[in-house]
Amino acid sequence: MPEGHTVHRIARQLGLDLVGRRLAVSSPQGRFAAGAARLDGQVLVSVEAVGKQLFCTFERGDVLRVHLGLYGAWDFHGLLTPLVPGGAAAGSLGAPRVRSVVRMGEDERESPADEGGLLAAFPPDPVGQVRVRLASDVTVADLRGPTACEVLDPEGAAAAVARLGPDPASTDDPAAAGEVMVQRLTSRNVAVGQLLMDQTVVAGIGNIYRAEMLFRARLDPHTPGGRVPVDVARALWDDWCVLLADGIRTGIMLTRDDLGAAEREAALTDPSLRHWVYHRTGLPCLVSGTPVVVEEMAGRKLYWCPTCQV
C-alpha cells in the first residue's frame, strides 16, 4: 500500500503541473463517469494530501477524494516539473510529443520510453483500467486501482479530513498535532503496533513505516497504547516527522539511521539496505543478531526483533 510520503509526492506533482489549469476530466474505464462529468472543464485550484488520502479541489467547490488503497497508482504523462529543483522528471521534447511516463504509487518509478524517447501522439491512449484521467494540454494524470474515488462537496471533504489523525506534512503546528497523536495513542488499550496503522490516530503510516518506527523506538509492538510512556509516544511522532519529510524529498522509505553518506547513497538504489527489520524475516537483526520474526497483526505482516524490542 502506498504510504503517506507517496501521496504527498503525488499532491506536489499535481500541484506543479495541473493546479491552475482547466482540465478535461474523463473516466476511460467508465466506473467514474458521473463524477468525471461533474468535474470536466473545471479549473483545478488546489491539491492537498492528508495521510494516505488526496483531496483535489475544483473551482466550483467540488472535491475529488482519492484513497489509493493497496493497489492504486497515478501515472503521469507529458510535460512534468521535477519535484526537487534540478532533479529528474519525465519531460517533453517539443510538446505535444512525450518522452516518458512516471508512475507514483506503491512502487514509484520511471517507466521506459518508446524507441527514440518519443511517443507518437499526445495525449497517449489510456492503458489498462484507468478510473480517472485529469488532462491539460501538456500533462496527463491517470488514476488506476484506487480503493476510494469520489466527488464531495466542501462540507463532505472537511468531514473526511476531520476523521483522520494528524499528519506532520499537513499541519502548520507540528507540536500541537503531535499532542493530538500522543493523546489518541496513549488513551487506547490496543497494541501500539495496531494503533500506528490506525489512520484516526495518526495519518499516513503504513506497514513499512510502522515496523521501522517501532524498531527505532525499541518498542514491543504488542505494548498497549495506554502503557506507552508519553515521552516515548512523543518520540514516535518526532520520528514520523523526520521519516515522512525524508520520504517526501526522496520518494524512498529509507529508515536506517546508521548509514554513512556512501552507504545511504547505495541504499537509495538497493532496497535490501534500507530497513532494520522490514522484509528481513529470519535474518539476523542488524543490532542484536537475533532472527527477525514476522507475525500477523490486524491483517498485515508485522516484522520485529524480540530481543531489541522489549
Of the residues 2, 28, 123, 146, only one is catalytic, namely 2
Residue 116 has pLDDT above 50, yes or no: no
More confident residue, 175 or 98: 175
| Same-domain status, 108 and 177 | no
State whether 150 and 175 are in the same domain: no
Q: Quick check: is 3 catalytic?
A: yes
Question: Cell digits for 98?
Answer: 512525450
CATH number at residue 83: 3.20.190.10
Identify the pLDDT of residue 104: 73
Parent domain of 231: 165-304
Q: Which three cell numbers stand for residue 152?
A: 464531495
Q: Residue 174 has what pLDDT?
A: 96
* Greater pLDDT, 105 or 133: 133
Residue 215 lies in a domain: yes
What local confidence, expressed as pLDDT, does residue 243 receive? Answer: 97
Sheet holding 139-144, edge to edge: 24-26, 130-135, 139-144, 73-78, 101-105, 109-111
Q: Does residue 231 sit within a domain?
A: yes
Q: Are residues 187 and 255 in the same domain?
A: yes
* Residue where a domain stops, chosen among 102, 136, 161: 161
Q: What is the CATH number of the domain that holds 175?
A: 1.10.8.50
The verdict on whether 115 is a catalytic residue reads no
pLDDT of residue 137: 95
Residue 309 lies in a domain: no
Please say if the pLDDT value at position 96 is more than 50: no
Residue 310 domain-assigned? no
The reply to whether 229 belongs to the active site is no
Output the pLDDT for position 95.
Answer: 27
Mean pLDDT over each residue of the chain, to the nearest integer = 90
Residue 121: the pLDDT is: 77
Task: Tell me if the bond preceding 96 is cis, omega within 30° of 0.
Answer: yes
Classify residue 9: in a domain, yes or no. yes
231 and 285 co-located in one domain: yes
Identified catalytic residue from 52, 65, 210, 274: 52
143 with 231, same domain?
Answer: no
The answer on pLDDT for 239 being more than 80 is yes
Mean pLDDT of the region 138-145: 95
Considering the domain architecture, whether residues 103 and 127 belong to the same structural domain is answered as yes
Q: What is the mean pLDDT of residues 170-180?
A: 97
In a domain, 212, yes or no: yes
Query: Could you tell me the pTM of the whole model?
Result: 0.90
Residue 130 and residue 192 in one domain: no
pLDDT for 83 equals 86
**pLDDT of 1 over the 80 cut:** no
Do 8 and 52 sit in the same domain of this protein?
yes
Q: Which of 3, 99, 168, 212 is catalytic?
A: 3
Rounded average pLDDT over 168-186: 97
Residue 301 known to be catalytic: no
Looking at the structure, tell me whether residues 202 and 101 fall in a common domain.
Answer: no
- pLDDT score at 213: 98
- Give per-residue pLDDT as tens, 52-77: 999 999 999 999 999 999 889 999 99
Domain count, the chain: 2
pLDDT tens for 256-283 read 999 999 999 999 999 999 999 999 999 9
15-24, 93-102, 118-127: which is most confident = 15-24
- Boundary of a domain, candidates 161, 196, 212: 161
Q: What does the angle CA 279 – CA 3 – CA 51 come to, to the nearest 5 degrees?
A: 150
